[in-house]
Structure 1
C-alpha cells in the first residue's frame, strides 16, 4: 500500500493453558556464536471455529535465515497455529500481507486468526482505545493449520548482525526469503506431504506469485494445492496511474461506477449489475475513444462524455476539462465535493473531511486512518499478552519500504520496465495440474481494483477453469465488514475443502 454468530455457551475460548518463553531478544552480533537462539513462545489454546471445537498450539517467534556458512542473517517472525494431534497430512496455509512493508496483522487480526479486533463494520472511524479483541469463530482452524509470516522489515522481523536489510527488499529477494522460511517450517514440523496453501493480501498477492515461482519454478520444488489472492495486484504496468497509460482509466472505471452508486451519485439496480455494465462499456466505447486520442471526433467525444458522467457521477464539464481521463486521486476529491467530503482509496465507502474543500486530491485516506489504530493496538496486545511473546522491538504494521524496494524481475529491460508477476501464476497452473487459484475482491477497492485483477488473470496462458473469483460489498480489507468477513471465510473454507 502506498500511504497502507453467535456461539452462546459454546463460544470461542482462547485462553493460554501453558507458556514457554525464550530468552529476551539481545542486540544481534556479527558472529553466529554471539547470536542468541531464536526468541519463541509456545502457548496452548482451545476454540470453536467453523462450528468445530479445536485444541491447538500457537508458536509465536523467530526462525533464522542463515548464510551458507551457517551465520544467521535474518530473523523471520511468524505465528503458527497448529491443531493438536499429529497429522502430517493436515492442510497448512501460509499467509502474509503486503505493502511492501506491511506485517501480517491485517489478515491475522482481521480475518483468519483465532482472535480478531472489532472495529465499526459500517465504514466509520475506529476512534480511540480500548478496542474489543474478540474470539473469531470465522477462523479457518477447523480446516487448516495457519502460519502468519512477517517478512524482513515488517512485524517483529529484522536483519541480524551486519546484514544489510536491503538484501531482502525486492520482489525476488523478498520472495526468496519467504520460500526459504516455508522450507524450514516444513522441515521443523514434518509437513512436506501435507496439502499446502499460500496466500496474501494486496502486495501479498504479488508476493504469492513470486514465492510460487521460487517454490514451484525449479526441480527442487514445493507444490501447492491452492493460492489465495485477496485484493489482487499482479500487473503493475497495466494499472500504473501515469500519463499516457490508457489502460489504467479502463481498469478503474468500474470501481468509480460502483462507488458513485454507493454514494447516490449514480442509478442502478445493484453493484454487481452496474459493475458488469461498466466493464462492457469500459472495454468497448470507452477504450476505443481513449485509443483514438486526439483523433476522436466531437460527436464521439460528446457521446462518451455523457456515458462517462452516468457511470462516474461526475459532471460532463469536469470530465471535459479532464479530457475524459480522471485519475483516482481526483475522483476521491471530486465525487462528493458538493458535500464537503472525500472518499477512501482502500475502501471508497469511507468518507473524510479535508482541511478545505478546494484541493485537487484528498489530504489523506479516510479508509486507512479509519482502521489502523485498532489493528496496531490489537496485534501488540495479543502477541505480548495471549501469546506471551516477549520482545523490546516495536511491531511494524506498515513500514516505508516501497522507496527502497527493488522492483526488477530480471530477464531483460522489458521485464523490468513492465512489472507483471501474473505470468508466474500461469506457468504454475500449466506445470501443476492440482493447483487452483482463489481471488477475492472488494467492489470499493481502488488500491487493487477488481477489474484490474480480472484483466491480469484473463490473458492468454491461464486455465480459467481453475481460477475462482468472489466479490464483496466492501473494499480492500473486506473483512472489516462483518457480513463480508463471514462470507470470505466461508468462501476460503469451501475452496480448501474443495480439493
Structure 2
C-alpha cells in the first residue's frame, strides 16, 4: 500500500540524534515469569546530593536517577519510564523546570544529557576527529542550564533503560501519538509528585525529539486539562516529513538541501572565490534555492536552453559540484550523492549528521558512503559515559542494557487526523499552540553542517501560514546535528537557551 510505503520512507529518512542505520528488532521478554515479576516490583529511585558551578553560579542540587511506572486504568503497571532529574536545593516551586529528550525514534536522552545540558559531560574531540578508544573523560559541565532551570531528562519506552512491563507489548508506545501520550503522562505524574504544577515549564528535544516536542505539546495543551508551557526548545528540528521526503516527483527536498550543501562546500573550500562570511554565503544560497532554483524545478522538463545553463552554473557555485555531475542528476543532487561526490577528488566522504567529519570508504566509486563518519566518530564515547555515570556515580542498579539507539519498529506515524494519511507534519501542532497560548515561545537551534535535519527544513516548516514569527527564535551553529560536540557551539547553545528561558 502507498500508505505503508510512505511510513517506511518516513522512518528511513529520519534519524535520531544519531541516526538512521538499520537496527536489529527488539524482542519481547522471553522469560515471562521474570517479566511478570518486574511488573510487581516498586520503581527504583536513587537520589544523591551534589554541588557544581553552572553559568558562573555555584548550585547545590539533588540528582535523581529514577523510574516512573505508567499504569493502566485499573492500576496495573504497563511501562517503566527512566528519567534523570536535577533539581536545585533548596527546592523552589516557582523555578522553571525543563523536560528534555532525544530523538530516533529509539534514541535515549544520553546525547543531550551527557553532551550538552547535564551537570557532567563526556569530553570528546571538538574539531571533527573521531572519539577513539576509552577511557573517555567525564568532566564537570559548567555549560549546564542548572543555573536557570531544573532539568528532567526522559527516556521513552524502548530507549535507555525504559521498557514495557509484564505482558505489555512495547508497540503500544511506539508511534508519534502513542509516544507523545506516554511522555505527556509522565510529565503530569512528575509534576504531581514534585509539586511543580505552577512552575514555568519548558519542553525540548533534538532531532525526532523535536517531532516529539510538537506532539507532546499537543497532548499537554490540546485539551481542557492543560499543562501550559512557557517555551519549546527545538534542536535540529524535523517537523514536516512530507516536504523532506525523498520520493520520486517531490522536488522540495532538493530546494531544502541547497543551503546546507552551500555551507558544507564553503567549509571544505570547494567554493570558487570563497567569501569570508559563511552566514552571508548561506543567505545567498537560500535566496537562490527559493527563487531561481525552485522556479527551475517547477518547470520540470520544460527547463531548457540558457535558463537551464544559468541555473546549473549557480547550482555548481553553491554546491561545489561540477556542472557535468549536476547535469547527470538533472539538476537534482540528492544529499546521499553529495556526501560521496563533494570530496571524491580527495578520496574522502563527508558526514551526514555533521559534514565537518570526513572518512574514507573501501573504494572511491559508488554513489553513497559506506557509513556516516560523523556517527561512528562519537558513539562509543557517549555509550561509555552514560553507563559509567548512571551506574557508578548516581548508583542506579540494573542489569538492563542502556539503549542509546534502538529499534522501535514498526513506528506508527498516524497523527489521528484523517486528512494527513499521505502527508505527515507535526508543525501545525506548534502553530496552534502559539496561537492559543500567548505566553508560549519557540527556540530553534540548527547546525549549518547538518544533513539529517537541514536548517532550511526547519525554517520552511515554521514559516507557513498560522505561525506568529515574532515568537519563534532561530539560532545557528558552525557544526552539525549535535552542535554541542563542538566546544564553541556548546557554549553558544547554552548561552542562547539561557537567554531564552530568562526572557519568559
Q: Same fold (TM over 0.5)?
A: yes
The question of 1:301 aligning with 2:314 is answered no
The separation in 2 between residues aligned to 1:149 and 1:183, in whole angstroms, is: 13
The separation in 2 between residues aligned to 1:323 and 1:269, in whole angstroms, is: 30
The question of 1:136 aligning with 2:141 is answered yes
- 3-state SS of 1:110 partner: helix
Runs (4 or more) in structure 1 with deviation over 4 Å come to none
CA deviations 1:213-244 (Å, max 9, x no partner) are 00000011100000000000000000111221
After TM superposition, the structure 1 = structure 2 runs for residues 407-422 of structure 1, keeping only pairs within 5 Å, are 407-412=413-418, 414-422=419-427
1:406 alignment partner, one of 402, 412, 415: 412
After TM superposition, the structure 1 = structure 2 runs for residues 56-71 of structure 1, keeping only pairs within 5 Å, are 56-71=61-76
- 3-state SS of 2:366 partner: coil
Instruction: Verify the 8 A CA contact 1:309 1:315 in the aligned structure 2.
Output: yes
The separation in 1 between residues aligned to 2:247 and 2:380, in whole angstroms, is: 32
Instruction: Verify the 8 A CA contact 1:171 1:406 in the aligned structure 2.
Output: yes
Match of 1:15 in 2: none
- 3-state SS of 1:314 partner: coil
The question of 1:474 aligning with 2:479 is answered yes
Match of 1:176 in 2: 181
The separation in 2 between residues aligned to 1:129 and 1:283, in whole angstroms, is: 46
After TM superposition, the structure 1 = structure 2 runs for residues 204-223 of structure 1, keeping only pairs within 5 Å, are 204-223=209-228
The separation in 2 between residues aligned to 1:492 and 1:63, in whole angstroms, is: 28
The separation in 2 between residues aligned to 1:107 and 1:86, in whole angstroms, is: 24
- 3-state SS of 2:481 partner: coil
Offset at residue 400 of structure 1 (A)? 2.1
Instruction: Verify the 8 A CA contact 1:42 1:60 in the aligned structure 2.
Output: yes
Match of 2:20 in 1: 3
The separation in 2 between residues aligned to 1:171 and 1:416, in whole angstroms, is: 13
Match of 1:21 in 2: none
Structure 1 segments unaligned to the other structure (5+ residues): 5-25
Match of 1:150 in 2: 155
After TM superposition, the structure 1 = structure 2 runs for residues 29-44 of structure 1, keeping only pairs within 5 Å, are 29=36, 35-44=40-49
For these two proteins, the number of residue pairs brought into alignment is: 474
After TM superposition, the structure 1 = structure 2 runs for residues 4-403 of structure 1, keeping only pairs within 5 Å, are 27-29=34-36, 35-266=40-271, 267-401=274-408, 403=409
Match of 2:12 in 1: none
Match of 1:17 in 2: none
The separation in 2 between residues aligned to 1:416 and 1:147, in whole angstroms, is: 34
Instruction: Verify the 8 A CA contact 1:410 1:416 in the aligned structure 2.
Output: no
TM-score if structure 1 supplies the norm length?
0.94
The separation in 2 between residues aligned to 1:48 and 1:133, in whole angstroms, is: 16
CA deviations 1:266-292 (Å, max 9, x no partner) are 122221111100010001110011000
The Cα RMSD (Å) is 1.1
The separation in 2 between residues aligned to 1:165 and 1:336, in whole angstroms, is: 43
Offset at residue 29 of structure 1 (A)? 1.0
Instruction: Verify the 8 A CA contact 1:166 1:404 in the aligned structure 2.
Output: yes
Instruction: Verify the 8 A CA contact 2:204 2:232 in the aligned structure 1.
Output: yes
TM-score if structure 2 supplies the norm length?
0.93
